[in-house]
Amino acid sequence: MDPALVGAASGHDPLLPTLGNGGYDVRLYDVDVETNPVDDQTTLHVIIEAVATQRLGRFSLDYAGIAPGSVRVDDAEAAFTESGGKLTVTPPRPIEVGGSFRTAIHIVGRPIAVRGVGWAWRGADQLSAFGIYDTVPTWLPTNADPADKALIETHLTVPRPYTAVGPGVLVSVTDVAGGRKFDWRAGPSNQFSIVVRDYKVADLGTVAGVPLTSYEPNDLAPRQRDALNRIPTIFEYLTELYGPLPFESLNVVWVDGLTDMEGPDEGLLKWGPQRLNPTALAHHLTHIWFTVNVTPSTSHESYLRAAFANYGDVLWIEHEDGVAARDERLAAMHARLGARTEAPADPSRIADNAALFIRGPLSLHTLRVIVGDDTFFDILSTWVVRFSRQAASVDDFVDLAEQVSGRSLDIWKQRWLLDQVVPPKSELGLGSG
């Protein structure tokens, strides 16, 4: 085939070069899932609506799950192959540049976790499927390019008494033969989770104009109930710092056996036995504003993911325990860095990278010291609004911080984001209130 007709099989992400695809922009994922946590069979029917950015005789999706039973493009059977984490589709006829097209993929079987991530059966009564970047394609065909955000419509059919929770807003619940169908709407986004369990649904009230709903087991222990009861208070405080939640609602969903990789989605906070500490809850709530809403444009921009969420920990400690406790935490973080790290704005990896997860939040605190509290929180709330539902870069954040503060931040950027030498602790302004 003429190479000019083949969409790129990479999004050219510096840290995840095998992920992402070119030649089209996704506009909508319409995901239909019929599953039973005690059954071996799951049916996935995925419709991907996209627009071609070049003339396409062949294109690819990121996928490493069960082999599809069929693939159709605009209602016509399409040839496909699955290899190397890619589902490559050859439509019956080329798609013209600018043309809208629909790819329908039908999959039947029982998805399994790949490298321990993706689709997880937790006992006989709960399913948790999640994903971002390289975890979604372990069970759902997508374009994993972080910058290619799209609307997500999720239709989850489960037997009674199970409840199915997806990202975004619950649109409807319909009785069907043998169970119920839960329809959810989200996006634009590039993160996706579903959770299925026999849940009790509880109204946590409206906080800062946002309705909060809890999906919880019937047997929460007192310590777990105490943690749940604190979530509205934590959420309200973070709203004061970051501005209004950029989504219509917040659903708080209990998940057994949570892993560190299972973060939030649009309007969806996952918590469980491993996530009861208020500081951890503040961390994951912060992600909703600064990671789910404003997405790093590539994994190379993961400073935006790590710095904000981990500074959310610091902010909650400051609120709950005072400035002295905050400064103690910051000093301990700085001591862990040593003399050098990678440049936070130029990481070579994401996992276990102190430049992102320790130096990143320290850099935000030094920015706060430089510009002052009022301006700093103006920067955060402006960032949330100006780049809402968009993909952004570290340079975008620095540019916005300069605009809001009205001052050059070249020295701060160089010392805290670009240099490998760790600046001294004195720049953290500890003890200054």
Q: Mark whether 314 and 420 lie in a shared domain.
A: yes
In a domain, 325, yes or no: yes
Q: Mark whether 156 and 301 lie in a shared domain.
A: no
Which residues partner with 212 through β-bridges? 205, 250
Q: Mark whether 101 and 189 lie in a shared domain.
A: yes
In a domain, 2, yes or no: yes
In a domain, 281, yes or no: yes
What contacts 188, CB < 8 A, 6 or more positions away? 149, 150, 151, 389
Measured CA distances, 426 to 339, 362, 416, 422 (Å) = 14, 12, 13, 11
CA dihedral 339, 345, 348, 352 (to 10 degrees): 60
DSSP 58: B
What pLDDT, on a 0 to 100 scale, did the predictor assign at position 19?
A: 87
Which residues partner with 101 through β-bridges? 50
* Residues 37, 122 contacting (CB under 8 angstroms): no
Scan for tokens 């019929």, then name that residue: 34
Length of the chain in terms of residues written: 433
Q: Mark whether 356 and 424 lie in a shared domain.
A: yes
Q: Mark whether 39 and 157 lie in a shared domain.
A: yes
Last residue of a domain, one of 170, 196, 222: 196
In a domain, 67, yes or no: yes
Kindly give the pairing relationship between strand 119-121 and strand 100-109.
unpaired
CA 421 to mean position of chain CA atoms: 30
CB atoms inside a 10 Å sphere around CB 39: 10
Q: What are the two backbone dihedrals, phi and then psi, of residue 235, each rounded to the nearest 5 degrees?
A: -60, -45
Q: Mark whether 304 and 215 lie in a shared domain.
A: no
CA dihedral 292, 296, 302, 304 (to 10 degrees): -70
Q: Mark whether 301 and 391 lie in a shared domain.
A: yes
Kindly give the pairing relationship between strand 86-90 and strand 169-176.
unpaired
Look at the alpha carbons of 345, 351, 357, 359 in this order and tell me if their dihedral is positive or negative: negative
Q: State the CATH number of the domain containing residue 140.
A: 2.60.40.1730
In a domain, 39, yes or no: yes
Q: Mark whether 167 and 263 lie in a shared domain.
A: no
- ∠ at Cα 382 (377, 387), nearest 5°? 135
What is the reported pTM?
Answer: 0.93
Q: State the CATH number of the domain containing residue 243.
A: 3.30.2010.30
The parent domain of residue 302 ranges over 296-428
* Identity of the amino acid at 343: A
Measured CA distances, 158 to 119, 184, 296 (Å) = 16, 14, 34
In a domain, 433, yes or no: no
Q: DSSP strand E in 217-281: where?
A: 250-254, 268-271
Number of domains comprising the chain: 3
Q: Mark whether 286 and 205 lie in a shared domain.
A: yes
Last residue of a domain, one of 293, 317, 340: 293
Q: Mark whether 390 and 313 lie in a shared domain.
A: yes
* Residues 415, 423 contacting (CB under 8 angstroms): yes
Q: Mark whether 158 and 42 lie in a shared domain.
A: yes
Alpha-carbon span 116 to 134, nearest angstrom: 12
Q: State the CATH number of the domain containing residue 370.
A: 1.10.390.10
What pLDDT, on a 0 to 100 scale, did the predictor assign at position 262?
A: 80
Q: Mark whether 254 and 374 lie in a shared domain.
A: no
What string of pLDDT tens digits covers the 433 residues of the chain? 777 789 999 888 888 888 899 999 999 999 999 988 777 678 999 999 999 999 999 999 999 888 999 999 999 999 999 998 999 999 999 999 999 999 999 999 888 766 656 777 766 567 777 766 557 788 889 998 888 899 999 999 999 999 999 999 999 999 999 899 999 999 888 788 889 989 999 999 999 999 999 999 988 999 999 999 999 999 999 999 999 999 999 999 999 878 777 888 899 999 998 899 999 999 999 999 999 999 999 989 999 999 999 999 999 999 999 999 999 999 999 999 999 999 999 999 998 999 999 999 999 999 999 999 999 999 999 999 999 999 999 999 999 999 999 999 999 999 999 999 999 999 999 986 5
DSSP 288: I
Last residue of a domain, one of 277, 293, 309: 293
